[in-house]
Chains A and B, each alone.
Chain A
Amino acid sequence: MTFRLTVNGRPRDVEGAWLGESLLYVLRERLGLPGSKNACEQGECGSCSVRLDDRLVCACLVLAAEAQGRSVATVEGLSAGDRTLTDVQQAFLDQGAVQCGFCTPGLVMSVHDLLDRNPAPDELELREAISGNLCRCTGYGRILAAARTVVERRAAATPERELP
Chain B
Amino acid sequence: MPAAAAPVALPESVDEVLQALADEPEAMILAGGTDLMVEVNAGRRRPVSVVSLTRVRELAGWSRDGDEVVLGACLTYADMERGPLAALVPALGQAARTIGSPQIRAAATIGGNLGTASPAGDTLPVLAALDAVVETAGPQGSRRLLVGDFVTGVKQTALLPGEIVTAVRVPLRRGRQEFLKVGTRNAMVISVVMVAVVVDLDGRTVRAGLGSVAPRPVRARSAEAFAAEHADWRRGAVASPDVVARFGQLCAEATSPIDDHRSTADYRRRAVAVCASRALARVLPPEGVHGDGGPSDE
Contacts and interface: CB of A to CB of B under 8 A. Distances in A.
Most chain A beta carbons < 10 A, residue from B30, B40, B100: B40
Interface string B96-108: 0000111110110
Nearest to A129: B102
B41 A22 contact: yes
Nearest to B107: A57
Contact of A46 (B36, B41, B101, B107): B101
A42 interface: yes
B47 A57 contact: no
SS class, residues of chain B in contact with chain A: loop
B107 to A, nearest CB: 5
Interface residues of B, number: 31
A131 B187 contact: yes
A58 B101 CA distance: 10
B8 A43 contact: no
A128 B78 CA distance: 13
Given A66-B33, A66-B54, A43 B49 contact: no
Tell me which of A20, A41, A42, A56 has the highest count of chain B C-beta atoms within 10 A of its own C-beta. Answer: A20
B156 to A, nearest CB: 22
Contacts of A85: none
Contact of A19 (B7, B33, B104): B7
Interface string A7-46: 0000000000001101000000000000000000111101
B225 interface: no
A55 interface: yes
Interface residues of A, number: 30
Contacts of A20: 40, 46-47
Q: Which 3 A-B pairs have the closest CB atoms?
A: A132-B101, A131-B187, A41-B41
Given A20-B46, A43-B38, 12 more contacts: A19-B48, A19-B50, A42-B38, A43-B37, A46-B103, A56-B102, A58-B34, A131-B187, A132-B102, A132-B104, A132-B187, A133-B101
Interface of A: 1, 3, 19-20, 22, 41-44, 46, 49, 55-58, 60-63, 65-66, 68-69, 110, 113, 128-129, 131-133
